[in-house]
């Protein structure tokens, strides 16, 4: 059995355009694709923080260092320039691959530039509710 896990995430991108007349997809700055390990034509999910919409499409390459994140085709109706979005890609993994899997998370700042690539190699894979500050506060209240 394979399970679908997060492979890569571009966190806190800003939409720079919405092109209804283009055939479809999302254009993403090549530098962001490379940093996340997302390849052109790979399926991605886009979550719009501004309006809550979610969509599946595929990534296409925009010029490197252009800062472009643009919804194309019908997807253009789900976002407007200036909206913040999260772009995620998933991978199908066998049970034997899950324990060692760590996603690549690229934190994105102003102008859709890379601010940090989060190292998930040193983070635990399982959530420990007892060690969570929110849960500790909840239990002690």
Tell me how far CA of residue 117 lies from CA of 8, 31, 73, 101, in angstroms: 11, 12, 30, 16
Domains and CATH numbers, the chain: 2-140 (2.40.40.20)
Catalytic residues: 25, 58
pLDDT digits (tens, 9 = 90+) for 63-84: 999 999 999 999 999 999 999 9
Q: Does residue 136 register a pLDDT over 50?
A: no
| Residue 120 tokens, joined | 């998930």
State pLDDT tens for residues 29-64.
999 999 999 999 999 999 999 999 999 999 999 999
Q: Which residues contact 84 (CB under 8 A, 6 or more apart)?
A: 12, 13, 14, 15, 48, 49, 50
Q: What average pLDDT is seen over the chain?
A: 89
Which residues lie below 8 Å from residue 109, measured CB to CB, with a gap of 6+?
A: 12, 115
Confidence of residue 128 (pLDDT cuts 50, 70, 90): low
Q: Which pLDDT does position 24 carry in this prediction?
A: 79
């Amino acid at each position: 059995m394979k399970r679908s896990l997060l492979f890569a995430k571009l966190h806190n991108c800003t939409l720079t355009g919405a092109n209804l007349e283009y055939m479809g997809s999302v254009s993403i700055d090549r530098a962001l694709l490379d940093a996340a390990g997302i390849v052109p034509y790979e399926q991605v999910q886009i979550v719009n923080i501004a309006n809550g919409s979610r969509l599946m499409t595929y990534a296409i390459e925009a010029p490197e260092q252009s800062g472009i994140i643009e919804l194309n085709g019908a997807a253009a109706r789900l976002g407007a320039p200036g909206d913040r979005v999260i772009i995620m890609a998933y991978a199908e993994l066998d049970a034997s691959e899950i324990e060692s899997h760590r996603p690549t998370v690229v934190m994105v700042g102003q102008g859709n530039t890379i601010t940090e690539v989060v190292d998930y190699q040193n983070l635990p894979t399982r959530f420990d509710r007892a060690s969570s500050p929110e849960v500790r506060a909840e239990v002690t209240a």
